[in-house]
Amino acid sequence: MKFTSCCVTAAIIISSALSSNASADDNAAIRQAKMNYPINVISQNYTDSEGVLLQGFLSTPNTKSTTSTKKVPAVVIMNDSSGTDAYEKQRATMIANELGYVAFAADTFGVETEIPVDTGGWGGPYADFISTFIRNATLFTQRIAAAVDHVQSLPNVDETKVAILGFCLGGTGVVHYINVAGEKEGGAAAAVSIHPSLLGAWDKPLGKINIPSIFLTGGNDFLTGPQAMASLEDDMTSASTVQWETNRYAKIDHAFTNWFAETAYNARADERSWNSMRTFLADKFGQSDESSYSWESASQLDLWSEDCCEGVAFFDCGPDEEGRRDFVAHAGAKYGCPDPSCKVPTVIILPDKSESGRLFAKQRAIQIAQRYGYRTWVSEGNVAARQYFEGVGYNSAKVALEGYGSGAQDALDFAMGGNIAGIDGEYSFKVISIFEVPENITAVNDTASTYKPQILISSGVDGDSMADVIKLESMLMGMDANYEINRYSDTSANFTDWNDLDGSYNAFAAGRSFETVESIYREMFGEFYWEIPPQTESPTPVPPSTQAPAPSGASLSTVTTASSFVLLAVAYFLSM
């Protein structure tokens, strides 16, 4: 339906697992709960190609029927430097319980191998032992391949859908595996590497890499610093024949997912990386709603058809005397909030100035209104549109900004402390999403600023140079900014624009970036009731979901194997 007057509002309820402003107490409580996560695994022995005895731990998803013969995907988990212990077993149980996959906590070292005592120093027997696997890509790959082969032989596993997942040392192993066995047919179908050590040189790909891969790292982790990530991108760009991506989280150290690493664990980064892994595997395995949602379906919207945009009202404001054309949309009635003064989240979109870009922005606005119920405003600086927008109710604490193409430059300028034409500093955005890295990067903000929006940057490897990305990240770090940078392979500028006739649209990168934006919106806008004016009849509120409290009596572990691995990786680098 087309709206004929500027009267816009929206309504939806979004749940949140963890606020980005979670306190140290919140982090500790979540860490305690994770440390007490119940383990449900059974041990299974297997051997590698040289006959070395290995022991892993299998967790299977709960099914309604104990006689079900349905085959499901599986995830092989490679251990960190402390060996396969409670952490890997808990991860396996989580994957089985929460994702519905078979999970196998594999054994890198061997049952009969005596692991030297970790003295926490820079060298010694333990460091030499771990270096055996860091230095020997062939041996590490052999151990991972043995676990993959074993899991593929299980009767309830779809052998064509087995992923490998590695944390810390295991993440390094994943990099070795795709470089050594990336061309092997019938091996791993997907690879996930979380806070690996990429310090120093590592073996280059032996052939093509045919395994879709994702790398999740911390911005403060010197084991995956900018130069290391640049080397990784070079390897993947030259060898990979399939999709891959990197996700990087600001202010996050090594081992951020390990709840037994007391000082390193970060509950928010753990949750963000888990969600990214979950949606990545869903895309590859086709096991959840994310993989079935067609983001580009919005390209079929005919904005001027009477049948357009079910449940959404919109208004095209402009052009004004300077040619500026703004657009506002909402799905208020659809979500039970028909009153224009309802205070709801709003997303402001800064479009690319091309005709294709402007059309995309309007379709994206309709998509956001339909999918989330938010109010949307496509802004080119039309003063009348802004006056209208501010004249109706909106929640000033829940406003996000999306910038595309030439609009990405404006969004980045605002994120770095500048202003946008028609949108000045009166708006405190919770989220600023930038789709590609602009060429002009200038920091205006400083570390003393209290304005710290969540900055989400989605970048195409082919469209944005790694040099520009490194420059941008350096500036963001200098500003003490809250940022996340996601890079997508085989992706150029304007990769989200499904109307781009030049072929720049990349469905994989667009879908992944929109999934990430959606997860940020769910997190940042949280759970709330609609703020309805007193004179307006309130819709029936939806009660917030309940969350189980952290178990009482949970003890804090002093295990810090992640710190030891950092030292070992540095020792290895210095020894080269």
User: Over the stretch 539-555, which tens digit does the pLDDT of each residue have?
Assistant: 333 233 322 333 333 33
Average pLDDT over residues 521-534: 59
pLDDT 10s digits, 201-242: 788 999 999 999 999 999 999 999 999 999 999 999 999 999
Strand partners, 152: none
Rounded CA separation 389/402 (Å): 17
Average pLDDT, the chain: 81
**187 near 212, Cβ under 8 Å?**
no
Question: 341: which residues sit within 8 A by CB, 6+ positions away?
Answer: 9, 392, 393, 533, 536
Neighbour tally for 109: CB within 10 Å: 20
Q: What is the pTM of this model?
A: 0.85
For residues 337 and 342, give the distance between their C-alpha atoms in angstroms, rounded to a whole number. 7
pLDDT at 183 (0 to 100):
96
* Per-residue pLDDT at 14: 21
* Highest-confidence segment of 36-40, 320-324, 490-494: 36-40
- Picking from 447, 471, 433, 462, the residue whose alpha carbon sits closest to that of residue 350 is 433
| 288-302 per-position pLDDT tens digit | 554 456 888 888 888
Amino acid found at 395: N
More confident residue, 37 or 388: 37
Residue 20 has pLDDT above 60, yes or no: no
> Is 80 exceeded by the pLDDT of residue 113?
yes
Residues in CB range of 7: below 8 A, 6 or more apart: 313, 315, 340, 392
> What are the helix (H) ranges across 212-342?
226-239, 267-285
Please indicate whether residue 309 or residue 153 has the higher confidence score (pLDDT).
153
Please determine, for residue 276, whether its predicted confidence score (pLDDT) is greater than 70: yes
pLDDT tens digits, one per residue of 467-478: 999 999 998 898
Q: 94-98, 120-124, 387-391: which has the highest mean pLDDT?
A: 94-98
Number of H helices, E strands in the chain: 13, 16
Residues counted in the chain: 576
Say if residues 434 and 412 touch (Cβ distance below 8 Å).
yes
Three-state SS letters, 506-529: CHHHHHHHHHHHHHHHHHHHCCCC
The residues near 114 (Cβ < 8 Å, ≥ 6 apart) are none
The bridge status of strand 53-59 relative to strand 454-460 is unpaired
Q: What is the mean pLDDT of residues 268-285?
A: 95
Span 369-384, mean pLDDT? Answer: 79
- 8 A C-beta contact, residue 135 and residue 568: no
For residue 4, pLDDT over 50 is answered with: no
Mean pLDDT of 30-55: 97
What does the block give as tokens for 183? Answer: 């061309």
Q: For the chain, which domains are there?
A: 37-63+71-291+558-575 (3.40.50.1820), 295-525 (3.40.50.1820)
- State how far the Cα of 383 lies from the Cα of 354, in Å rounded to an integer: 20
Structure tokens at 57: 């731990």
Checking DSSP bridges between strand 72-78 and strand 454-460, what pairing results, if any?
unpaired
**Closest listed residue to residue 248, CA positions, set 219, 281, 228:** 219
Q: What is the rounded CA–CA span in Å between residue 467 and residue 487?
A: 13
Beta carbons within 8 Å of 127's beta carbon, 6+ residues apart: 121, 567, 568, 571, 572
Rounded mean pLDDT, 61-81: 82
For position 539, what pLDDT does the model report?
Answer: 32
CA distance 292 to 275: 16
**Using one digit for the tens of pLDDT, what is the confidence trace for 554-574?**
332 333 344 444 444 434 433
CA distances from 414 to 432, 439, 520, 521, 523 (A): 9, 15, 19, 19, 22
Backbone angles phi, psi at 369, to 5 degrees: -65, -45
Residue 343 bridge partners (DSSP): 531
User: What pLDDT sits at residue 427?
Assistant: 54
Predicted pLDDT at 442: 66
